[in-house]
Amino acid sequence: MSEWVRVCAADDIDDEDLIRFDHDDRTYAVYRTEKGYFATDGLCTHEDQHLEEGLVTGMVIECPLHGGRFDIPSGKALSAPVCLDLKTYAVRLEGDQLYIEL
């Protein structure tokens, strides 16, 4: 069964940036983009590198280790060396707080 889990205040994430969010032995990445807030698994599907130091450009996150790129809203792998998509999670803004559905 899924639950909504509070992540942070929406303003804690800079424009075109992401934060790391750890919960129940799992790690996630929560993004603020020009089209709103999104969440994915935190680890790159190539070599388990966390995406928290990655670069957000528009709607794309680039992994800091080998430059693999993912579409943030869908988690789709866009360029080598990544070929497996990231899992994505619903995000809800309630007042000034962000929640993700896990």
Binding residues (CB under 6 A) for ligand FES: these are: 44, 46-47, 49, 63, 65-66, 68, 81-82
CB of 69 to ligand FES, least distance (A): 8
Return the number of the residue (19 or 78) whose C-beta is nearest ligand FES. 78
Return the number of the residue (8 or 19) whose C-beta is nearest ligand FES. 19
Return the number of the residue (12 or 74) whose C-beta is nearest ligand FES. 74
Question: Is the N-terminal amide bond of 64 cis, ω within 30° of 0?
Answer: no
Q: Cβ(37)–Cβ(21) under 8 Å?
A: no
Q: Cβ(59)–Cβ(33) under 8 Å?
A: yes
CB of 10 to ligand FES, least distance (A): 27
Residues with Cβ within 8 Å of 5's Cβ and at least 6 positions away in sequence, in order, are 23, 99, 100, 101, 102
